[in-house]
A and B are shown apart, each in its own frame.
Chain A
């Protein structure tokens, strides 16, 4: 496999690398006239790690996940799995690489085939890959049903016979069928009631411990992200504006947008927060981004001189913690 040169070598336990990934919609290909849904994103995911991707609607997190899963062609950049270029690999190799990364979406019921039994749904990825005999696939599907907390003897039932939480368990079983190393959870618990959400999060964490899986966990809900992720990447208008250890990012955010997001979350304790304490920020995350300005500048409470003149780079603010804000530059202090 040909290696394209990148400036820095990633740490040895890196499993997934996203390098310079960009995707625009609406413009003509190769030109930047459209909406830049994902703009020059770099990311790494280590083995056994959970990386949270958080941001509000339209920030580009779902586009980024589809690029990572190779469900969309990027305009530029690449995704590497264990050092192999997934984006530019020939189709035969891509099929193999697809086995290593699987996805669970928000709406489990609509992501399952309603005309197939749940056993067949779970076995489907293996059948599509042309792996194993029908009998072996069936045995494996039954084993996975048990693993995700459902009864193997229900394999002949159809998706509509199950609740939302159970469908999400079935979708997780299907994602496990090809024994992937990475699972992308795209708003996978967002539609669930809180009591069921806790059950599914526990299952997800148990599976990770059992199989050493690596997760990318996409959500608009910073509360959930904070709970289960090792690191958090915060996206705003197609860019990563802050990335670092979950605990640090939530306790001491270094980008005003991260801080604003955290202050806007209502806390389930009336002694700690009432409506007047909820953080308010100006405007909406819409509109054209000026190429030479910070995308958050129009809404930023801390905007100062350089913000609409230079776009801040994502720079180190602490070991393993980066933010794209002029406030973190030495001359700003």
Chain B
């Protein structure tokens, strides 16, 4: 039996521009976030991973718009909610953490006020109770001497400490889903290690599902239970973390892992860049979007879309070779 789903995204499509001229930056994305599990959404800049996160929180700005699909949170259809209903979902049922804590925090509000604001927006609560809760939350995320520091402003805090404040705000209403978009990209590695550990521990304690968006395969390997690889607006592979790193089936995933091995291992591993660059989504190639860069491309890939093909219950890849491997046993 599978655990109850907390967030189900089905065939989500988000487009910028008009029906005729435009770019479908999220193009039929489907996945499920389960309680207590970390799902990593990984890909390179422009692949649509942040657009996916913004879409499911309905934060896509005009001229972008969601043109299809559904997002349900514990059975409730988020795309059908009014804007004011959606505001109650954001920050409460779904907590959000972004890359740049300095721009996500209001520079004119104290650290305490930022958290109190979130708390009072979602729950009727006296100011004194909200202050006490804010101090508890800050202590929980590792801000030492929180009772004194709630009066400080964001610029008094280091990058790592600011990110802790954002995490405290994100978990303040005990969300069932936490979305973290490149939460450690701007941080030094020693600080990153601490923030990743904190996110992992909090998620474990809360039993929330975590959607971790990152381009860093090292972060994916250490944090994820399940991995979604995104390329040019589509998910091209889905697998549990061990399978993804040790038995990848999509040529893009393989190429990405080879790049990382070439960069991060010693000099005996050759540097193997992926030739070319990601396609222009305003004018995407026909067929598989990785075909122009694919080392094992076949004729059919250039004319027909390649849907996700099932390899096992935990593993899918959008590549024709999955069929061939199956036929050849």
- Which residues of A come within 8 Å of B, CB atoms? 56-57, 163, 165, 193-199, 201-202, 205, 220, 222-224, 226-227, 247, 260-261, 263-271, 273-281, 284, 286
Contacts and interface: CB of A to CB of B under 8 A. Distances in A.
Contact of A280 (B194, B217, B255): B194
A165 B194 CA distance: 31
Interface stretch (B111-119, B129-137, B270-278, B307-315): B270-278
12 contacts: A193-B44, A198-B262, A205-B271, A224-B264, A227-B262, A227-B265, A266-B192, A268-B220, A273-B222, A279-B193, A280-B194, A284-B158
B263 A224 contact: yes
A202 B221 contact: no
Contacts of B222: 266-267, 270, 273-275, 277-278
A271 B271 contact: no
Contact of A196 (B260, B262, B272, B277): B277
A276 B201 CA distance: 9
Given A194-B215, A199-B273, 17 more contacts: A57-B159, A194-B256, A194-B260, A197-B263, A227-B262, A227-B263, A227-B271, A266-B193, A267-B221, A268-B220, A268-B257, A271-B245, A274-B221, A275-B196, A275-B222, A280-B194, A284-B160
Interface stretch (B6-14, B18-26, B183-191): B183-191
Contact of A284 (B191, B215, B277): B191
A260 B260 CA distance: 22
Contacts of B194: 280
Nearest to B191: A284
Interface in B244-289: 245-246, 255-257, 259-267, 271-274, 277
A56 B220 CA distance: 22
Interface string B122-149: 0000000000000000000000000000
B76 interface: no
Contacts of A195: 44, 255-256, 259, 273-274
Contacts of A264: 189-190, 192-193
Sorting the interface of chain B by its residue count into under 10, 10 to 19, 20 to 34 or 35 or more gives 35 or more
A227 B188 contact: no
A313 to B, nearest CB: 24
Given A163-B277, A284-B158, A284-B191, A267 B246 contact: no
A193 B260 CA distance: 11
Contacts of B262: 198, 227
B216 interface: yes
Contact of A270 (B193, B196, B242, B277): B242
A268 to B, nearest CB: 4
A266 B273 contact: no
Contacts of B193: 263-264, 266, 278-280
A268 B218 contact: yes
A278 B221 contact: no
B45 interface: yes
B65 interface: no
A300 to B, nearest CB: 12
Interface string B79-118: 0000000000000000000000000000000000000000
B169 interface: no
A101 B8 CA distance: 55
B266 A227 contact: yes
B223 interface: yes
B219 interface: yes
Contacts of A268: 217-218, 220-221, 245, 257, 260-261, 264
B44 A57 contact: no
Contacts of A260: 190
Nearest to B257: A268
Contacts of B242: 270-271
A286 B159 CA distance: 12
A202 to B, nearest CB: 5
Contacts of B219: 266
The 10 A-B residue pairs whose C-beta atoms are closest, nearest first, are A266-B218, A198-B273, A56-B188, A199-B273, A193-B44, A223-B264, A195-B274, A278-B193, A264-B193, A268-B217
Given A165-B277, A194-B215, A280 B197 contact: yes
Contacts of B224: 270
B256 A270 contact: no
A273 B264 CA distance: 14
B263 to A, nearest CB: 5
B306 to A, nearest CB: 20
Contacts of B257: 268
B200 interface: yes
A57 to B, nearest CB: 6
B44 A194 contact: yes
Contacts of A198: 259, 262-263, 271-274
Contacts of B56: none
